Amino acid sequence: MRTCLRRFERQGRMRPVDRCATGSQLCVEFGTVTYDRTYRTMTRGDIRYLAVGLAALATVPGSASAQEACVEGGNSATRSAEVEFALAASRDDTRSQEDRYKRALEKLERNWELDHIPSRSYLLAANAYLGLRDFAGADSMLTILANVEPVCADQVAEIRFNSWVGQYNAGIEQMQAGDEDTALQRFETANLINKDARSLAYAGSIYQTRGENELAAERYVAALAAGGDDAIVRTASINLAGLRRSAGDNAGALEIYSAYATAHPDDILGRLNFAIALMDAERQDEAQLIFEELLARDDLSFGQWSQVGIGLYRAQSFAPAAIAFERAYELNPFNKETLENLANSYYQAERFEELLPLAQELTNRYPLERVNFNLLANSRRELGDLDGALAALEARDGMSFELLRPRLSPVSESTYSIEGQVMNRDGAPGSTHTIGVTFVDEMGTDLFTEPLELTLPAGQETAAFSLQVESEEIIGGFRYELSGS
């Protein structure tokens, strides 16, 4: 039987085909460009875009004029409450401060029955509730005070901020200590007394980490409504839009990205995510313009270059996509997805001379993935090396099993995982095979090798596998080989 090569028609999304219609022809299966929307870089820590830097805040000095305007008037109830506050501040008092604050609230109760309640009652009640750490009660009193005495707005804002900042700083301290549960409690308590975008965004960030996306989205919406500096708006906008998109609400995500990109045209991440949202909305021409605009920059990160390449590839702009992936590859040449994406872009752009060494590198690093041998066979064929192409296909078809899309991702600060599937081509079901997986740092230096034990499923079936490792060094990539080979 004569074996020949046939190249499939190039398409925006390449078809994974195992064999041609005729049994005498061996076909070349092409890989697809990885466009996972959470394109992960091989660095430690969470990939989610976090809020502002962890920094404590100071309180705001009170305004004397605002205080004077708010303290005018009163009655016997307010004066009795003031006595309780004075005793609470005394070192010689035999009662606890908590007891004094409760008594102050009791003294004020008779004012709530009056037709004309002295405004000072709300201010004193708010302070008593704050003393009892009842922030919801304090919020209620301060809201009423601001409504009945607009002149007190400044003092109300100061009280809210100064009460909020203590809880916010406590949340920051707990975040720095790694205690997210307590940090979330502090941020949510802070949110009761003052709707500040910072505590709202941090609470949203923690909820998002936990997978409680509805609560996270609520906090981000509130943060955007509260407003704040650009860093907070950026965090809330990008994270909220990401949640909308992951929930299938592409229109909602696009609206958020569009508003942010319009207001912040120089923000790379905002522009990039806007372009991706346009792609999701099948507005490829508009997205392509943004990707090409970003391609002209020289200050993108590895992950950003990767996303630009993915967007251009999806728009079937293969030559520009290759440029973006080249820049990502320069920053992290040991990332598997980057190497694969660059190779596929070269293939689609018909740059076979550049493809050949990458395809060879892929087969060397990942020798149990048929798609890599397909790329190698096609590059050799296009360059006139038919014998070499056939040799690549023979190596491919000599595999008794193959690995499907093994992917490396960070799990936590020092934990990494490789996950994928093994497919049994014609091996013995139930047989075991050991793969030696070598992990490398960002410079390509070998860190360590771990065994991956595989048990083959039934013929032509697949089974999932995973390998989790710990490393104090940042893992930049991996390669593997059959043990003993």
Rounded average pLDDT over 28-42: 36
Rg, the chain, Cα only: 31
Quote the pLDDT of residue 10.
34
Q: Which of 21-30, 76-85, 269-278, 335-344 has the lowest mean pLDDT?
A: 21-30
Per residue in 142-157, pLDDT tens?
Answer: 999 999 999 899 999 9
- Give the model confidence (pLDDT) of 103-128 as tens digits: 999 999 999 999 889 989 999 999 99
pLDDT at 51 over 80: no
CB atoms within 10 A of CB 308: 30
pLDDT at 466: 96
The predicted model gives 47-57 an average pLDDT of: 41
pLDDT band at 39 (very low <50, low <70, confident <90, very high): very low
When the pLDDT of each residue in the chain is averaged and rounded to a whole number, the result is: 84
**Cα(first)–Cα(last) distance of the chain, in Å?**
30
Q: Is 369 left (phi over 0), alpha (psi -120 to 50) or beta?
A: beta
* pLDDT for res 445: 96
- pLDDT-based confidence at 130, cuts 50/70/90? very high
CA–CA distance from 170 to each of 61, 138, 354, 472 (Å)? 20, 19, 55, 29
Question: Region 351-357: what's the mean pLDDT?
Answer: 97
Kindly tell me if the per-residue pLDDT of 392 is higher than 60: yes
Instruction: Write b or e for each residue in 160-176: b if 16 or more Cβ atoms lie within 10 A of its Cβ, otherwise e.
Output: bbbbbbbbbbbbbebbe
Is the Cα dihedral 7, 12, 15, 20 positive or negative? negative
Per-residue confidence (pLDDT) for residue 484, from 0 to 100: 60
User: Tell me, what's the pLDDT at 224?
Assistant: 92
Q: What is the pLDDT of residue 63?
A: 40
Lowest-pLDDT choice from 31-40, 55-64, 353-362, 414-423: 31-40
- pLDDT at residue 287 is higher than 60: yes
Residue 477: pLDDT band (50, 70, 90) is very high
pLDDT > 80? residue 55 = no
- Which residue blocks in 72-112 are alpha helix, DSSP H? 76-88, 97-108
Residues 25-52: what's their mean pLDDT? 34
- Nearest by Cα to 161 from 147, 185, 177, 142: 142
Q: Cα 219 from chain centroid? A: 16
Which CA distances in Å does 112 have to 106, 116, 204?
11, 9, 37
